[in-house]
Amino acid sequence: MPLVTVNLGERSYDIHIEAGCLSQAASLLSTLTFKKAVVLSNTTVAPLYLSQLKDALTATELTCIEIPDGEQYKTLAQYESIMTTLLSSHVSRDTLLIALGGGVVGDLCGFVAATYQRGIPFVQIPTTLLSQVDSSVGGKTAVNHPLGKNMIGAFYQPAAVIIDPQTLRTLPPREFAAGMAEVIKYGIIYDAEFFGWLEDNVSTLKQQDPATLATAIQRCCQIKADIVAQDEREGGIRALLNLGHTFGHAIEAQQGYGNWLHGEAVAAGIILACKTAEHELNFTVSETRRVAALLNAFELPTAGPDDMSYDDYMRHMSHDKKVLDSKIRFILPTSIGAAIVTSDVQQDTLTAVLTHR
């Protein structure tokens, strides 16, 4: 079974990646000590995969909390509701929390795990492409606030990650495409060879060929594991993983969480970052076109909403958690395969990029 390890000393953990591995959950979690588990899932995923997980964990007393499906439910109100359920059920520290779902479920479950009785163990079982290649790995947990995405949260690492690419068979095409935005991001910021491989494998990826998908997921997880091992709390290189997110989070907040999927907003944000890099760095127009072509191949947006103004972007970006010393930090590609973090973007550049001039 392909295995990626996130090396964080005593908090290191493994990412298991294999088609059908959900049914092997008991053996994959055998190094953890727990007799009870609470699964956090949503009303879409639980009917599809909860019974399979229960069948795998027959020796475990398992209960489930289901939440509504959608980014608009990644809120403090939902967090409080989950906490109330755990407290009412007298859940103790020897209980394992399991996130079974996409990024919303994983982020919420992680934040609950980080804060319930000051921390209990949790495991990620991501069921969307976006969560499999990005949000389930690295320990970022959070809820959204109307003034900003992921502004309330904690760094809290899972005890393990189990990735079964077979769960992607039930993923709506729009959600699969949104996940590809994060996959493409890794090639832009870190691995030009991987970016080229993605260009060469568009058709097999769109067909969800199991071997091709597993290769893509494993490479993304390895890149993220390498980065997180160097910079767990985003003091340096980890910020590169936010390519497209500064602009993308502004789009999500302005349009209303859930109306633009996270990956769709990131895709548009990536192009805005590329165009900013054309002005500020040596990123070329042809490289931007190459990035746009790959995003377009997966039917992802390559421009922000028509009804968003410069002021709309700036209002939301000024509240972004990446703001430092009152300066917005931007992740900009220097070439396909490399990127930098900078706060020195000229006002004229932002005006030109965000007003499409």
> Of these residues, 16, 185, 224, 275, which one is catalytic?
224
Q: What average pLDDT does the segment 88-113 reach?
A: 97
The Cα 230–Cα 182 span in angstroms is: 20
> Of these residues, 140, 185, 275, 316, which one is catalytic?
140
The answer on pLDDT for 1 being more than 90 is no
Q: What average pLDDT does the segment 272-285 reach?
A: 97
> Of these residues, 74, 175, 242, 278, which one is catalytic?
242
Task: Please report the pLDDT score of residue 348 as a whole number.
Answer: 95
Catalytic residue list contains 238? yes
Catalytic residue list contains 42? no
Over the stretch 166-220, which tens digit does the pLDDT of each residue have?
999 999 999 999 999 999 999 999 999 999 999 999 999 999 998 999 999 999 9
> Of these residues, 16, 185, 219, 262, which one is catalytic?
262
Q: Which helix (H) or strand (E) holds 311?
A: helix 310-317
Over the stretch 239-275, which tens digit does the pLDDT of each residue have?
999 999 999 999 999 998 889 999 999 999 999 999 9
Catalytic residue list contains 54? no
User: Residues with Cβ < 8 Å from 153, sequence gap 6 or more?
Assistant: 107, 111, 114, 140, 141, 142, 143
Catalytic residue list contains 182? yes
Catalytic residue list contains 219? no
If phi > 0 it is left, if psi is from -120 to 50 it is alpha, else beta; for residue 137 that is beta
Catalytic residue list contains 232? no
Both structure tokens of 283: 């990123």
Catalytic residue list contains 278? no
Q: What average pLDDT does the segment 44-67 reach?
A: 97
> Of these residues, 66, 71, 232, 234, which one is catalytic?
234
Q: Rounded to the nearest 5°, which phi and psi values hold at 77? A: -65, -40
The answer on pLDDT for 116 being more than 70 is yes
- Give the orientation angle of helix 76-88 with respect to helix 103-115, to 10 degrees: 60
Catalytic residue list contains 16? no
Dihedral (CA of 60, 65, 69, 71) sign: negative
> Of these residues, 238, 275, 316, 321, which one is catalytic?
238
The Cα 55–Cα 159 span in angstroms is: 21
Task: Please report the pLDDT score of residue 323 as a whole number.
Answer: 73
Q: How confident is the model at residue 340 (pLDDT cuts 50, 70, 90)?
A: very high
In order of 1, 62, 102, 142, 227, the CA distances from 51 in angstroms are 23, 11, 17, 27, 35
Q: Rounded to the nearest 5°, which phi and psi values hold at 253? A: -65, -40
The answer on pLDDT for 35 being more than 90 is no
Catalytic residue list contains 242? yes
How large a percentage of the chain has pLDDT more than 70? 98
Task: Please report the pLDDT score of residue 124 as a whole number.
Answer: 98
> Of these residues, 18, 66, 182, 252, which one is catalytic?
182
Q: By mean pLDDT, which of 223-227, 232-236, 243-247, 338-342 is the weakest?
A: 232-236
Both structure tokens of 84: 């109330």
Q: What average pLDDT does the segment 22-27 reach?
A: 97
Q: What is the dihedral of CA 144, 145, 149, 154, to 10 degrees?
A: -60
With CA atoms as reference, report the closest residue to 126 among 152, 165, 153, 157: 165
User: Residues with Cβ < 8 Å from 60, sequence gap 6 or more?
Assistant: 26, 34, 35, 36, 37, 96
Both structure tokens of 284: 């070329």
Catalytic residue list contains 262? yes
> Of these residues, 16, 74, 219, 249, which one is catalytic?
249
Domains of the chain, CATH where assigned: 3-170 (3.40.50.1970), 173-354 (1.20.1090.10)
Average pLDDT, the chain: 95
